[in-house]
Structure 1
């Protein structure tokens, strides 16, 4: 294959005659290589003179969120329920929206959405305190929650009155005069 430039007298062509991809240099002078770039930083003084107005403080404020994506895990269910809700709504509204979304998706175990007051919302499954129903979602500081059935306080008080603690049972046994097991004598801190 013939070369594009003939070799003169056995001498290779000059660097300026070689291809640009071979040497990485072009044959053009450095003055012509400069690219004209636009100004990226505006001159603020000239903008004020030309009548351009800077943005107002209202325009510089961050915009408020209109919707928030929350992840709610429901006790006994596999996976999380994604709920998109307004951050100005309350925890009670989040509970109702979550239960409605859960029923709409047809998840199992099935739950009834007749009474939303039967559910409590927690930060996690390990959190003991439930969230206040009137608290706004934007003030919670989290986007992951845990929803579980509310414990029946009436059933708990009845169960606690019928069942007594181990120390009370040991006291009753001691008062009735029943023989105490030998290992219980060493545990005086129970009485």
Structure 2
């Protein structure tokens, strides 16, 4: 009898978790249910949509690339966007904007990748690399 009840309660998508996400500057946490196999990036997207739908302040926007998800219990490092939300075994998180210097580094990396894909035929790129002006 006990085995049949356990089989009925198992979800084919994996276990589901009630998670709580605090947003810096907001009045209280956002709570919703997710599959433990869901990616962190998807959880950030869901949190931003829920936050906007509830009309909370401050207004955050909807670009998931501008935010990082932290777990205060695990340390100061942000979770990777490709991790599963259930991989750490915790249910309380903090959603924060990316620091400005991280956004600049990502933009620089994207520009460098784009310039590599175009090749070195641009005389402006060659000129900027070859001329170095020093200030006294």
| TM-score > 0.5 by shorter chain | yes
Q: Distance in 1 between matches of 2:75 and 2:82?
A: 19
From 5, 10, 17, the equivalent of 1:63 is 10
2:99 aligned residue:
151
TM-score normalised by length of structure 1? 0.46
Q: Distance in 2 between matches of 1:151 and 1:68?
A: 29
Q: Deviations over 1:37-83 (max 9, x none)?
A: xxxxxxxxxxxxxxxxxx69xx77x8354432100000111110012
Higher strand share: 2
Change in 2 beyond 3 A, CA 1:101/1:155: closer
Q: Distance in 1 between matches of 2:17 and 2:103?
A: 37
Q: Distance in 1 between matches of 2:80 and 2:31?
A: 21
Q: Distance in 2 between matches of 1:120 and 1:75?
A: 11
Matched, 1:97 2:46: yes
Higher relative contact order, structure no. (Cα contacts within 8 Å, ≥ 6 residues apart): 2
Q: Secondary structure at the match of 2:44?
A: helix
Q: Distance in 2 between matches of 1:140 and 1:126?
A: 8
Q: Distance in 2 between matches of 1:142 and 1:125?
A: 8
**Structure 1 residue 152: Cα displacement:** 2.2
- Ranges in structure 1 where 5+ consecutive residues have no aligned partner: 1-54, 158-191
RMSD: 2.7
1:118 aligned residue:
66
Q: Distance in 2 between matches of 1:154 and 1:66?
A: 34
Change in 2 beyond 3 A, CA 1:77/1:63: same
**Structure 1 residue 154: Cα displacement:** 5.6
- Ranges in structure 2 where 5+ consecutive residues have no aligned partner: 106-136
Q: Secondary structure at the match of 2:30?
A: strand
Change in 2 beyond 3 A, CA 1:108/1:116: same
